[in-house]
Chains A and B, each alone.
Chain A
Amino acid sequence: MKRITRYIWLIILLGFSSCTKEIDFDLSDQTTNRLVVEGSFTNISAQHEIKLTRSTPFYQPNATPVEPGAAVSIVGNNQTIIFDEVAPGVYRNLAADSGVIGQTYTLQIELENGEQYTASETMRRNAVIDSMSYEYLPFASFYNLNIWTQEPPGKGDSYLWNVYIDGVWVNDTLRYSSFQNDDFVDGSYINGGTIYQIRERSFLDYNFNPPPKKDSIDVEIETLHISQGFYEFVVTALLETEFRGTPFDGPPANLRGNISNEALGYFSVYSLSNRYKFTIQAEH
């Protein structure tokens, strides 16, 4: 519903020429330097990744500083999975480990300076995609991707969808994230719920210059059954970034992560559906 009301603002504001302009705004004397955790653990046997970085002053122009040399592990279901640093600040489990639905997993981090951080979440049941469909909306020039699935009865389920086009994960940036919870659809059979919109430019083949238009693209979708905490984190992250700038915004506020000791970021544990694969023919 947050998104529906959001759309209403956008449509109405379009009627007026709401404009933006870059300005100078002094933000000096900033010394923020907190640990930031980005990572997840799933039910799929794979290499999982935990990224450790630091927060910086807002106008800091360089790449985000990383946190190397930490001891990282995930504990749960009577096992301890050790993560090794494969690149500065990037930690991976070397075997293809996976989690079990219903179990709680705890991320443990010890920095070189001895500071310790933890975060834990419980893996939610698996969500299944029955089928997918798409429809072309000519006035907006995009393709709606629609999902067909049973939403399990009982409130508190939240979902995130990863979209791959021709094998490339296209919504790994928050602004393209696709997410929904069951507040208003609890227990329903979802018969064509729109979860993502593909622009026409996704058909361009950037291997060539100028890029020609492909006749079709292969789309893969996976459903992540995430925790309510992570859902809130994603929604509020968008409220603090992409969704700001209307007269109806609430006051800015910090995100609520799940890492102890005042670290930023989120460690999410979720189950993944199998990838649903289909082909979209370009409209001409």
Chain B
Amino acid sequence: MKKCLIIILTSLFTQLYAQERFTISGTIQGADNSLSLVGASVVDVKKGAGVSTNENGYFSITLPKDNYTIKVSFIGYESKEYRIKLDADTSLKINLKPTFTEVEEVKIVADRKIDNVKNTSMGSAILKMETIKKIPSFMGEIDLLKTIQLLPGVQGSGEGQTGYNVRGGGIDQNLVLLDEAPIYNPSHFLGFFSVFNADAISDLELYKGGIPARYGGRLASILDVKMKEGNPEEFSATGGIGLISSRLYIDGPIKKKRGSFMLAGRRTYADAFLFLAPDDDIRDSRLFFYDLNAKADYKINEKNSLYLSAYLGRDVLSLSDQILVNWGNATTTLRWNRIFTNKLIANFSGIVSNFDYQIGIPNGSQEFTSKTRILDYHLKADFNWYLNDNHTVQFGSGSIFHTFKPVEIESGSESFVNSLTFPESYALEHHAYLSDEIDWGGAWSIEAGLRLSVFQNMGKGTVYSFDRSDPQDYILTDSANYGSGEVYNTFNNLEPRLSVRYLLNEFSSVKANYQRTAQYIQQAVNSTSSSPFNTYFASSPNVMPQISDQVSVGYFRNLNNSQYEFSAEAYYKTMQNVIDFKDHAEIFFNQYVEAEIRTGTAEGYGLELMLQRVKGKLNGWVSYTLSRAERTIDEINSGKTFLAPYNRSHDISVVANYEFSDRWQFGLVWVFASGRPITIPNGKFEYRNTYIPTYSDRNTEQMPNYHRLDLTATYFLKDKMRLDGKIIWQSNLNFSIFNAYNRYNAFAINFKRRENTQSTFAEMTYFFGIVPSITYNFKF
């Protein structure tokens, strides 16, 4: 590994002594609303060398002294060319005009860099919110976590669920970031809806491989979701009224052209009609969730900008005075963007992320409230150094302070439930990284990165010792207590990341990638779907960090004048210290959840094919994934290798949008997936008038295949205009049909006894038949 670093560093410094070179840098904005354009390309027309703008709309390119024609372009905007005599560092502020001439091209999985073929990275995808909004939605709720399940290599954890599995990884192995803050539980309503309000999001980037060195902390994937920035020119509002929720979004300038704000809210009203119920108890019940997003940005001067984003969401469920449950995330991110020189820019961020849930009985002899919390304080610095046109260097470091409060039960004064607190635990997670994207000109480019992650358990804390002689039942033997602030355990991991691209010609390339990732924060998930009540726990002397190595190769090709993009990627992945659980593990409200864990190795491999049509009135994609995911754990399934519960051999997604006219727009999604593996009975026995199944090997059979068709149609109503022609009210009606051919897709198969008889039968449980919905959206 040392050698690799030296090679990167020496190649950096040799470049420093080359001929006289100057830098062109600047920002690119939309002329219509002064919003930064992210991913706009800046290309030297003669040689084809180019860069693209970063998340602040900033770019920097360093070239030898010469005359240049620089072309600036961005989808949906008119391109501009600049002639530049480069004999000094040059700064540009570029405004691009939006194009209105033709139907807007929809680049479905656009790449931030120049394109799919030329980009060094692989295994990643960017989805714009406009694309996601065109896809049929469940109950009218636009859902980005369900949309990413339509990408190859990403599989949904179950019917209507927002949980997902990436390339043979568990649902607990995905990191979800919202403006850099981790969202520990990105779902509402036990997984049927995601926490992301479509109005408040601008785009997302998903990494299932080729994870850049600046990201870490989870094994399988990183989902980086960005909130929208407000319009710094004028106020506007959008909103929607749906069957289960309503939304409102407003944005506008704080100070014209200097700063803007955005506020968005969504609340469901499943319980709004309960007041009609005749019964007091039902009338007093609650069942809803809400999301609030806010973002503000302010440009202090040309070199310094501040960004503040916040998210708050919560689910509330109560059944009269019987039970009260609520859970949710709260995050805040403050980012200071600083341009040191035209080649070196930095972001300094302070992040707070909190997830907690409460379960309780509000009164009576069983009154109690139980609270569980995970809280992170995160400080980090990230630098982009545009060294020259061959090297883009990124480096940075950061630290997270984690607090885990597993269970704190407070009982009422007349209650017989014990007040008790499971010991809290604390941990520090540090990282430092360096990566360099080296464009060798010609066919080769390399992105080489190295990430160092350090995890430290810190007091005040308790470490339990277990007698592990009975593989089914670990017995607590001892516990050791550590004082406040005392670091009692440290893990280190070096995580190399390497991507190589070789251009075969202008239209096609091959790429390869290797990555290692480490995960220190675990979620106890024993089922195919995760719930908000799944316990989070840290790596510790009892739980080794999970480590994953993945190699992938890919072939990328643009066809028919880039009207179509094709990609084929194959991956092979191994994982160590993968977490599973003993039979009938108690993972809720268990102080000794570490005693329920059984660890082993896992393996996954697959092939992902995707063909997209990115231009034209009819656009969309078809993707196919062939994959396998296996686990081997000594204490489970007698140590024999078994299929991971989320293994799906075949997975097909078809996504199509059709812009029929200015008034009508149609969308279609069809998905097919092989049934999940299940464990089936090998017999039964009778005990207390009950037939109880017996089992042999785990996950040997398959559930029926899953397939489903969703349709959507959007009708754009006539705009309302002022006398001077300015549009003051735009609106549309969206009709969606989920599961259009009403297929009953099983999410579980149970083997049961027919009541009051001796006969037994198999029964499947399914959630949804056909579900139509209608939503009214407006903008003013």
Contact = CB atoms under 8 A, between A and B. Distances in A.
Interface of A: 1-2, 4-5, 7-9, 11-13, 15-25, 27, 30, 32, 34, 36, 38, 53-64, 138-139, 146, 151, 172-175, 177, 183-194, 232, 236-237, 239-241, 244-256, 264-266
Which of A34, A58, A189, A254 has its CB near the most chain B CB atoms (within 10 A)?
A58
B301 interface: no
28 contacts: A2-B588, A8-B317, A8-B323, A12-B190, A12-B317, A13-B190, A19-B744, A19-B767, A20-B763, A27-B762, A55-B684, A55-B694, A56-B685, A61-B758, A139-B320, A188-B417, A189-B416, A240-B692, A244-B750, A246-B748, A250-B527, A251-B526, A251-B583, A251-B679, A251-B699, A253-B584, A253-B695, A256-B472
A151 B527 CA distance: 34
Contacts of A191: 365, 414, 416
Contacts of B190: 9, 12-13, 247-248
A191 B438 CA distance: 72
Contact of B418 (A4, A18, A23, A188): A188
B365 A193 contact: yes
Nearest to B157: A247
Contacts of B366: 193-194
B365 A192 contact: yes
B763 A23 contact: yes
Contacts of B589: 1, 5, 183-184
B762 A24 contact: yes
B443 interface: no
A240 B691 CA distance: 10
Contact of B693 (A38, A58, A184): A58
Interface in B315-331: 317, 319-320, 323, 325
B690 A25 contact: no
A110 B769 CA distance: 54
Contact of B287 (A15, A25, A172, A183): A15
Contact of A241 (B752, B758, B766): B752
B670 interface: no
A4 B690 contact: no
B767 A248 contact: no
B698 interface: yes
B441 to A, nearest CB: 52
Nearest to B323: A7
Given A18-B767, A61-B758, A53 B685 contact: yes
A143 B761 CA distance: 32
Interface of B: 157-158, 161, 189-192, 270, 279-282, 287, 317, 319-320, 323, 325, 359, 364-366, 368, 409, 414, 416-418, 420, 472, 526-529, 531, 533, 581, 583-589, 645, 679-695, 698-699, 704, 744, 746-753, 758-769
Contact of B527 (A20, A185, A249): A249
B688 A264 contact: no
Contact of A173 (B409, B684, B690, B695): B690
B684 A38 contact: no
Given A21-B763, A264-B685, A264-B694, A244 B418 contact: no
Contacts of A4: 323, 359
A251 B746 CA distance: 16
A23 B317 CA distance: 33
A38 B192 contact: no
Given A174-B689, A241-B692, A252-B693, 16 more contacts: A5-B588, A8-B317, A8-B533, A20-B765, A21-B763, A24-B762, A25-B762, A38-B687, A54-B685, A139-B280, A173-B689, A191-B414, A192-B416, A236-B584, A241-B690, A256-B583
Nearest to A239: B584
B568 to A, nearest CB: 33
Contacts of A173: 688-690
A15 to B, nearest CB: 6
B761 A237 contact: no
B295 to A, nearest CB: 31
Nearest to B279: A139
A192 B412 CA distance: 14
A247 B758 contact: no
B764 A20 contact: yes
A93 B177 CA distance: 67
Nearest to A189: B416
A265 B691 CA distance: 11
Contacts of A17: 767-769
A244 B692 CA distance: 12
Contacts of B688: 38, 172-174, 177, 237
Contacts of B681: 27, 58, 252
Which of A11, A25, A38, A62 has its CB near the most chain B CB atoms (within 10 A)?
A25
A247 B748 contact: yes
A18 B768 CA distance: 7
Given A16-B192, A244-B748, A36 B685 contact: yes
A19 B694 contact: no
B657 to A, nearest CB: 28
A15 B190 CA distance: 11
A184 B418 contact: yes
A174 B687 contact: yes
B259 to A, nearest CB: 42
Given A23-B764, A55-B694, A251 B417 contact: no
A244 B758 CA distance: 20
A268 B132 CA distance: 58
Nearest to A24: B762
Nearest to B759: A61
A118 B330 CA distance: 56
In the A-B complex, the 5 residue pairs with the closest CB atoms? A32-B683, A253-B583, A25-B762, A247-B529, A188-B416
Nearest to A255: B692
Contact of A247 (B161, B270, B420): B161
Contact of A25 (B692, B694, B749): B749
A139 B586 contact: no
Contacts of A139: 279-282, 320
A224 B587 CA distance: 27
Contact of A175 (B414, B586, B690, B767): B690
A197 to B, nearest CB: 12
A266 B686 CA distance: 11
A152 to B, nearest CB: 13
B528 to A, nearest CB: 6
A5 B753 CA distance: 25
B689 A27 contact: no
A21 B744 contact: yes
B760 A58 contact: yes
A193 B416 contact: yes
A95 B687 CA distance: 25
A158 B704 CA distance: 40
Contacts of A172: 688-689
B170 to A, nearest CB: 13
A2 B752 CA distance: 21
Contacts of A59: 760-761
Which of B688, B759, B762 has its CB near the most chain A CB atoms (within 10 A)?
B688
Contacts of B748: 244-247, 249
Nearest to B761: A22
B767 A237 contact: no
Contacts of A184: 368, 409, 417-418, 420, 589
A252 B695 contact: yes
B101 to A, nearest CB: 46
A247 B747 contact: yes
B417 A237 contact: no
A60 to B, nearest CB: 7
A48 to B, nearest CB: 15
A19 B586 contact: no
Contacts of B418: 184-188
Contact of A1 (B365, B588, B645): B588
Contacts of B764: 20-21, 23
A185 B365 CA distance: 11
Contact of A23 (B531, B645, B762): B762
A138 B282 CA distance: 11
